């Protein structure tokens, strides 16, 4: 028999992403609107294992929609990856009277949720919270748009120096195994190329582009390099070294944007997305949904089985690659 839903727990896990607070706020307020009790779980799955529980009211989330990071804090829990850790987490939930969980995070977070839901009879709703945009079944993840905007702002600044000094900049951006941040920030900043794990772009195509650029009397260039492209971590240095050897007439520089990309105030898009998704998460629970991730497709909220969201590859549209190639000439 279905347990009556009285109390939900909400947590953020994995890398923080702008808009997580807006999601926590939406979950909390929508739950309270439906007379559900809300327990904020600190530090992701770690807090579930260590019983770091805080009772949340509507005012607990006041003045948070505009804040980056996560008021619930976050962690990448090793303990939750063990059966023993998950057992402890389940016992704590039962003791605390938490009937359902809302987890906000990326691939690792949802993979943890999937394992947990397989072993224990708990309804779980996932919200895609990651700057990487690498979850299948949703056009965008919470935090992706903000990170994209941050990157573009940085690239615009670097462009001034690239132009003034006639330099080629290789700018490394995050994204884990996905190239969405690199590809789309390259388009948005008018960069000359993007090197992404999904593409077959390599330095030889880069050489072609340099030749093309010379014909157009371009002496400076910006290349966005995904942290996970073929040459692994430090790929931006690899490409800069090759340029120095093969095209010594160019001055090549490397900039790694690093954790600059994760913090900061969420964009309006991410705030709205997180609000809609948080609201939808409570609706989903009330409808009896379980073990689904809330996604957005063509501006409509959709439910994606968590298993599909984490297991299926999310491809980068070929169109985006063509747009960059043609417009960067
Ligand atoms: O998943 C978000 C992300 O920022 C990735 O883009 C990046 O590879 C990773 O997290 C970095 O993690 P950490 O902050 O733990 O070093």
pLDDT tens per residue, range 186-225: 999 999 999 998 876 454 666 666 666 655 556 789 999 9
Confidence class for position 19, pLDDT limits 50, 70, 90: very high
Token pair recorded at residue 243: 């340029």
174 Cα to the center of ligand 1, angstroms: 7
Mutation test residue for ligand 1: of 70, 132, 227, the one with most atoms within 8 Å of CB:
132
Q: What pLDDT is stored for residue 4 in this prediction?
A: 87
Phi/psi of residue 15, nearest 5 degrees? -65, 135
Q: What pLDDT is stored for residue 57 in this prediction?
A: 98
Active-site position among 132, 134, 145, 270:
132
Taking CA atoms only, the protein residue closest to ligand 1 atom 9 is 176
d(CA 270, CA 209): 34
Domain spanning 145-262: which CATH class is it, in words? alpha beta
pTM score, two decimals?
A: 0.95
Helix intervals (H) in the chain: 20-33, 45-49, 83-96, 107-119, 144-165, 180-189, 203-215, 235-246, 268-286, 306-311, 318-327
- CATH fold of 7-143+266-311, please? Rossmann fold (3.40.50)
- Report the alpha-carbon angle 21-143-223, nearest 5: 155
> Looking at ligand 1, which atom is closest to the CA of residue 108?
1
Q: What is the mean pLDDT of residues 166-172?
A: 95
In order of 56, 74, 80, 105, 113, the CA distances from 90 in angstroms are: 20, 19, 11, 19, 12
Q: Is 132 a catalytic residue?
A: yes
pLDDT at 151 over 50: yes
Q: What is the mean pLDDT of residues 33-52?
A: 98
d(CA 293, CA 107): 11
> Hey, is 268 helix, strand or coil?
helix
Residues 76, 18, 155, 210, CA torsion sign: positive
Do 7-143+266-311 and 145-262 have matching folds? Answer: yes
d(CA 114, CA 50): 20
Confidence class for position 229, pLDDT limits 50, 70, 90: confident
Q: What pLDDT is stored for residue 293 in this prediction?
A: 98
Token pair recorded at residue 311: 């297991």
Taking CA atoms only, the protein residue closest to ligand 1 atom 7 is 176
Give ligand 1 pocket residues (Cβ under 6 A): 15, 106, 130-132, 174-176, 227, 262
d(CA 2, CA 32): 21
Q: What pLDDT is stored for residue 203 in this prediction?
A: 45
pLDDT tens per residue, range 79-108: 999 999 999 999 999 999 999 999 999 999
d(CA 232, CA 13): 25
d(CA 179, CA 190): 16
Q: What pLDDT is stored for residue 1 in this prediction?
A: 47
Which residue has 């941040």 as its token pair? Answer: 181
In order of 58, 170, 205, 271, the CA distances from 227 in angstroms are: 39, 11, 18, 26
15 Cα to the center of ligand 1, angstroms: 6
In order of 230, 240, 244, 304, the CA distances from 200 in angstroms are: 9, 18, 22, 30
Strands 292-297 and 221-226: unpaired
How buried is residue 274: exposed, middle or buried, by Cβ count under 10 Å (0-12/13-18/19+)? buried
Q: What pLDDT is stored for residue 214 in this prediction?
A: 57
Q: What pLDDT is stored for residue 3 in this prediction?
A: 65
d(CA 200, CA 203): 10
pLDDT at 33 over 70: yes
| Domain chopping of the chain, boundaries | 7-143+266-311, 145-262
d(CA 82, CA 139): 32
pLDDT tens per residue, range 121-150: 999 999 999 999 999 999 999 999 999 999
pLDDT tens per residue, range 269-321: 999 999 999 999 999 999 999 999 999 999 999 999 999 999 999 999 999 99
Q: What is the mean pLDDT of residues 1-21?
A: 91
Identify whether the C-beta of residue 262 lies closer than 8 Å to the C-beta of residue 16: yes
Q: What is the DSSP letter of 317?
A: P
Mutation test residue for ligand 1: of 112, 144, 148, 176, the one with most atoms within 8 Å of CB:
176
The residues with which 142 forms a beta bridge, in sequence order, are 129
Q: What is the DSSP letter of 298?
A: T
42 Cα to the center of ligand 1, angstroms: 19
Mean pLDDT rounded to a whole number for the chain: 93
């Amino acid at each position: 028999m279905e347990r009556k839903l009285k109390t939900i727990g909400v947590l953020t896990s994995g890398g923080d992403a702008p808009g997580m607070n807006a999601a926590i706020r939406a979950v909390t307020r929508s739950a309270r609107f439906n007379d559900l009790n809300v327990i904020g779980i600190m530090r992701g799955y770690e807090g579930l294992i260590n019983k770091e529980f805080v009772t949340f009211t509507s005012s607990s989330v006041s003045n948070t929609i505009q804040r980056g990071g996560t008021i619930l804090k976050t962690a990448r829990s090793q303990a939750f990856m063990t059966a023993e850790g998950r057992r402890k987490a389940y016992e704590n939930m039962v003791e605390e009277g938490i009937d359902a969980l809302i987890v906000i995070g990326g691939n690792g977070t949802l993979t943890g949720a999937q394992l947990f839901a397989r072993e224990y009879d708990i309804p779980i709703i996932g919200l895609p919270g990651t700057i990487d945009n690498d979850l299948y079944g949703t056009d965008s993840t919470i935090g992706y748009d903000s990170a994209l905007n941050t990157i573009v702002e940085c690239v615009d600044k670097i462009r001034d120096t690239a132009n003034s000094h006639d330099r080629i900049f290789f700018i490394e951006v995050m994204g884990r195994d996905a190239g969405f941040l690199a590809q789309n920030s390259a388009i948005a900043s008018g960069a000359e190329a993007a090197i992404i794990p999904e593409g077959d772009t390599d330095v030889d195509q880069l050489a072609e582009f340099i030749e093309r650029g010379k014909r157009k009397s371009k002496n400076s260039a910006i290349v966005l390099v995904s942290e996970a492209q073929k040459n692994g971590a430090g790929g931006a240095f690899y490409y800069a070294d090759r340029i120095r050897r093969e095209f010594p007439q160019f001055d090549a520089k490397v900039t790694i944007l690093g954790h600059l990309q994760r913090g900061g105030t969420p964009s309006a898009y991410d705030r709205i997305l997180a609000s809609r998704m948080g609201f939808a998460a409570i609706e989903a629970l009330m409808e009896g949904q379980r073990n689904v991730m809330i996604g957005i497709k063509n501006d409509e909220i959709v439910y994606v089985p968590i298993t599909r969201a984490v297991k299926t590859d999310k491809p980068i549209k070929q169109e985006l690659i063509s747009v960059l190639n043609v417009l960067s000439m």
